Chains A and B, each alone.
Chain A
């Protein structure tokens, strides 16, 4: 008998992971967006001792890559365990070799996939079917879920069916749209899941396992005589699959009442036009078909759940016999193919299996790549296309394709939203807690009322000051509208600054409710609204409510987190629930959410609820628009065309409307565009006091966003200086008679205050006043922008005249990495900026995927810049796992082309002149002056070459720039260097080639949310190490040193900045492989980012992070190549550990474990120091020499 379902509100990642965890014994995990959360859940559950269906806690093991995870699962399955893993995108690609094996050996398992785009012209973390489609050739079952409910249910069906079918399953759902959608669903009871999994089949799986008690050989090598036949042995298993899956679905329906079919048709029984698709788009199509059929249209949708094996018979049987035309939609692209995969399968099925009457016409199209919203309007456009006498084939929908003219026209106003559904949009800042509050509201409504609830959240690509948009729906029926809301009846704006930047009211309906927080009394709010906002309020007859949420939050000590305040307001004015009931539920929810975290946190939130309503006011809306405040342009009017027409549109959230023609075809974008995106995030900015400043340069050096700049220049330049522009005499004796300025860009600063923390110059009369101090930004903004603009135009100092070994001089070098989207106070970016200053004009950068590739290369704007001569770092990101090899390839290419150029120059010596040839070939390019002179010579050479009419002269002309020295910097995080890319990194180190490797060591996978890497220190709590890491940090430097000919440096800028600078200079100067391991504090450490340099210092002072340089050149001179650059540990390790919540958390969650691991960590510090001390002091005769 079917039980009454119990409902919960969770996302698909959690729903699928729960089933997978319950149904397995071994879980191999590795982080990748958007599937990371599935592994995180599994790890957390295991750490908390949650058992699986059979009462035992699964073994959850993090691997070094998805390839590793697949290998581990292959082994676990061979050894008889029930095993699973989760992944997406590039991760799935890495699993493919093992997937062939697992399928070839007829092994039951399920991999759960949050389907995501594959990196092509660019990486994208968002959802489509590009990844799973690459796996359709592996022999796995492909089962597609379309909703959160299905993600749970199909996970169970897959685990049940694979045991019988012996064919492995890829269960997938759309990344973000489904994986991250929070939805009300009927939860699958453990008993029902247990009933799905046949104990006899599990026993058979174990019986087939490798065991010395009944040994067999599996994984042989076969020859031409039998491989082919053996490959054909599996056909009956694939033939049986659809039947098995159908049975599993039927069994599931008996247990739960939720019925599914491998191919499920919805729509008019006599439909003529039918759309075929799979994944989340099915839900929107279902909803649209319901709407259109209600209007008498003969349309339908065929939802493909079972994509492989593709059962043509069942597929055709599911279609109405009246079908005249099929529109097959693929959420993937296969350039050069005759059509996308589902389309081709449909064509084949029609040809092979359509038996009744004339076969329908089949057209195919692409939609929804990279989570491009897929709306009823688009679905209607497809149906309209199908109604054409000659429907467009190989079309696209959802974009404007003005190049190949594939796109269908879409009516943007077409909507099928029900009036019974409350539709709300919230614009918030990441830091204000808006998303968390909304997730909470969904829970309140979903779990305490009869209503269904849905939440979807979009984030921007910057890590600091990012905007979040929450889309919430509540209604009496299950919600299939899995697309963004375009007809909102409630809009909330949690940040007043958004009003001038974005059209937040464009999606609100007539008579809707608008809630906004403004720091003004209700009767003054109207006068502070931009004209566009006022116009829409009047035109759409909106009701407007306002609250000064920051004041209310401040009053109860909640700082900038206005989540509870705004959540209370939402319930108060939206009418989703009766007000009193809503307040009671919010309070209950607060107690539930924060109860274990401490009563004071509960009290604070409860207090916020209590005082909010008295601060919430309705704004009296005049009948006339009065404002003269205009919307700000996304980029300055004088920006280059591309930036204005393309980049600016993306910034303004209008990127969806950009046509194909304006986008580069090969993924190539202009450098240095962050300077056009003035984000104006900082509430406070640093202000320089030249009287106190000792001109040490440290503030500029640590500035993560390159917003503090230094210039030394001729005083004559000050003639037209703005009135408030500050300048003083340069103190450096070599800059005698020059003027000196430290300038801040107020619109680019994120207000992290690291500069103030590092500033060593204090006022003689008040120790809390430094040479640089944080001051409120608004009153300074206009003046400092003027000063900044003047400053930028001051001449850069000739690089030849800068002593780069001293920070105070070096910091006048122009940063060519600026205003990135990294977190405020980021610990990585100062190192990258340093590279850009020292070597940027001659550097190629190979950047591993991770934080640095995201803040370094995520559109709309990118930070790698160029100087006045047009030179700057040339940057690229290949993959996560291959970055060292990618960089090595660059090095080899540069070297080869330089070699060829030298050969050609030798041949052309007679024509270009012997002296010039000799000078070029023998140039000393070890310093700035040498490089400068070489550039002049090459310019002269090119002039001469233009006059020579020969193929060789032309070839040399094209290659001549390679005669000037080029650097290759290979950069990435510890996830890359220690784990997924280690094999390649090791190979590159061993290559002996002149590459520079920078490891930005945050000791976790920062970009994907702080998962453990092999760099994570002992005792740290991280995701995938929820119970504290039990193994030591890998000593990557020691491994690199073992080659003997690799320059190795370990630095921590916050501990010893001069040492950092020296190490970078030495590493670059070393003619061979060099690697710098750089301590990078990180938001994922749970630290105060404002004073994070103190954490760096503590890590060095306690011996947790030893500073050293291993320079093979010293060995050549008879010296020990290893120099220790930090002193013996002088503080107990706990002084450092207790500064960071990654360690403190262990004390709070598992105090006994913490005590033991902290003691172990202290002992490790002692032994590691002793080892390094020994190595640095041993006689050079037994040291590794320069190979």
Chain B
């Protein structure tokens, strides 16, 4: 019997298969099913705190719109006695999930600026979250903002949250830093308990008939795992923080690759959205089978075995590999 336990954010997990933030975790019964299917932990769907704030402002705008203008219709809506800001539901979900599963429940907070992070982080901790994952969802478009300023935003958020809570904090990052390694180091030194590599940014599409930008979300493809694979491999052994791999992990093979690159855990969402929560069982079974076939005893044994520091050819994680890859690519059409 192979040992697939792992450690992540200071907890021992029964499996490196973690469900990443996605709509499936909106319901407690799904979280229970995830546990039953073998998930090592679950990251709850992300609370878009800033979006909630914007929605509240929009609600306020429309409640007031057109009021006090016309004698017969001084208002258009009844005044509710209370507003559920949207956060109460989330906090209740944490508490309910904790009450119904034994695996760690990681709360996820999504935003782009300092805003109300600390307040909500504390509330999430109070609601029973085992850890927090901060998804800094920030696409800098300001041409006058330096890279350092962008990076400082991340550090500031991390510091603010770390100072507010006792539970471990994971930073979910984008790969778009001029020096990812330096950024990883700064976050590591700043106290991040884990780096989650990488989040997938909203990338809109264009409808050529209507000539409109369409905000359709696409699920990840297996190709998407290359970028996290690269950086998990590069960072492994260089930082204290745990490494979580996410994006494009669909199959047992993907999981094994990530573990070999150095991930503590591998996170899945798209695969479960496509194939169902029970897909976790399939993946775990595949991982176990491969480990048995290849006489691996444990995940710990496998972790980082093909990271940059342990790879036969460390430069393969860098540009040389890219050049080799280009040379081996034969286009099918002439040019």
Binding site for B on A (CB under 8 A): 33-34, 36-37, 40, 43-44, 47-48, 125, 176, 429-431, 433-436, 457-459, 462-463, 466, 468, 561, 594, 596-601, 762, 767, 823, 854, 1006-1010, 1021-1023, 1026, 1083-1084, 1086-1087, 1141-1142, 1144-1145, 1147-1151
Contacts and interface: CB of A to CB of B under 8 A. Distances in A.
B80 interface: yes
Task: Tell me which of B70, B82, B84, B86 has the highest count of chain A C-beta atoms within 10 A of its own C-beta.
Answer: B70
A598 B86 CA distance: 11
B72 A1008 contact: yes
Contact of A1009 (B58, B59, B76): B76
B59 A1148 contact: yes
A47 B57 contact: no
Contact of A430 (B57, B68, B211): B68
A1141 B86 CA distance: 15
If over half of B's interface residues share one DSSP class (helix, strand or loop), that class is named, otherwise mixed; here it is: loop
30 contacts: A34-B71, A44-B79, A430-B68, A436-B64, A436-B67, A436-B68, A457-B68, A459-B69, A459-B70, A462-B70, A468-B69, A561-B64, A600-B53, A601-B56, A762-B211, A854-B72, A1007-B72, A1007-B73, A1008-B73, A1009-B75, A1023-B75, A1023-B76, A1084-B66, A1086-B62, A1141-B59, A1148-B86, A1149-B81, A1149-B83, A1150-B84, A1151-B84
Contact of B68 (A44, A435, A762, A1149): A435
Given A600-B53, A601-B57, A463 B69 contact: yes
A597 B83 contact: yes
A102 to B, nearest CB: 28
A762 B213 CA distance: 14
B211 A1023 contact: no
What are the 8 A-B residue pairs with the smallest beta carbon separation, nearest first?
A430-B69, A1149-B80, A1009-B73, A1026-B78, A435-B68, A1086-B62, A598-B56, A1010-B76
A1021 B212 contact: no
Contact of B77 (A457, A1006, A1142): A1142
A1086 B57 contact: no
Given A436-B68, A459-B70, A1009-B72, A1148 B84 contact: yes
A33 B55 CA distance: 32
Interface in B70-117: 70-86, 89, 116
Nearest to A1088: B62
A431 B64 CA distance: 9
Contacts of B72: 33-34, 36, 125, 854, 1007-1009
A468 B68 contact: yes
A597 to B, nearest CB: 5
Contacts of B58: 1141
Contacts of B76: 1009-1010, 1023, 1083-1084, 1086
Contacts of A1151: 84, 89
Interface string B281-320: 0000000000000000000000000000000000000000
Contacts of B71: 33-34, 125, 176, 458-459
Contacts of A435: 68, 74
Given A598-B57, A1026-B80, A1086 B63 contact: yes
Nearest to B73: A1009
B163 interface: no
Contacts of A1086: 59, 62-63, 65, 76-77
Interface size class of B (residues with CB under 8 A): 35 or more
A466 B78 contact: no
A1149 B88 CA distance: 12
Nearest to A43: B78
Given A1023-B77, A1148-B85, 14 more contacts: A33-B72, A47-B78, A176-B71, A434-B68, A459-B69, A1026-B80, A1084-B76, A1086-B77, A1141-B59, A1145-B59, A1147-B84, A1148-B86, A1149-B80, A1149-B81
Contacts of B67: 430, 436
B69 A1141 contact: no
Nearest to A1082: B76
Contacts of A1142: 77
A762 to B, nearest CB: 5
B77 A48 contact: no
Contacts of B82: 596, 1149
A1149 B63 CA distance: 13
Contacts of B65: 1083, 1086
Contact of B60 (A597, A1006, A1022): A597
Contacts of B80: 1021, 1026, 1145, 1148-1150
A426 B81 CA distance: 30
Contacts of A40: 78
Contact of A1148 (B57, B66, B83, B211): B83
B266 to A, nearest CB: 32
A48 B81 contact: yes
B84 A1149 contact: yes
Contacts of A601: 56-57, 60
A1187 to B, nearest CB: 40
Given A596-B83, A1151-B89, A1021 B68 contact: no
Contacts of A1145: 59, 77, 80
Contacts of A1144: 55, 59
A498 to B, nearest CB: 15
A315 to B, nearest CB: 35
Nearest to A557: B57
Nearest to A763: B211
A1026 B76 CA distance: 11
A594 B55 CA distance: 15
A44 B70 CA distance: 21
Interface string B114-138: 0010000000000000000000000
Nearest to B54: A600
Given A430-B69, A601-B56, A1141 B78 contact: no
A1142 B76 CA distance: 10
B56 A600 contact: yes
Given A598-B53, A1009-B72, A823 B66 contact: yes
Contacts of A1007: 72-73
B122 to A, nearest CB: 15
Contacts of A1008: 72-73
A825 B273 CA distance: 41
B215 to A, nearest CB: 12
A1145 B81 CA distance: 11
Contacts of A434: 68
A923 to B, nearest CB: 45
A1026 B81 CA distance: 10
A433 B64 contact: yes
A176 to B, nearest CB: 7
Contacts of B83: 596-598, 1148-1149
A1026 B85 CA distance: 18
A44 B79 CA distance: 7
B163 to A, nearest CB: 20
Given A600-B57, A1010-B73, A1142-B77, A767 B66 contact: no
B78 A598 contact: no
A463 B77 contact: no
A767 B213 CA distance: 10
A433 B70 CA distance: 12
Nearest to A601: B60
A1142 B66 CA distance: 14
Nearest to B211: A767
Contact of B70 (A463, A598, A762, A1148): A463
Nearest to A49: B81
Nearest to A436: B68
Task: Tell me which of A44, A854, A1149 has the highest count of chain B C-beta atoms within 10 A of its own C-beta.
Answer: A1149
A596 B86 CA distance: 13
Contacts of B55: 1144
Nearest to A1009: B73
Contacts of B212: 767
Contacts of A1023: 75-78
Given A598-B57, A601-B57, A1141 B73 contact: no
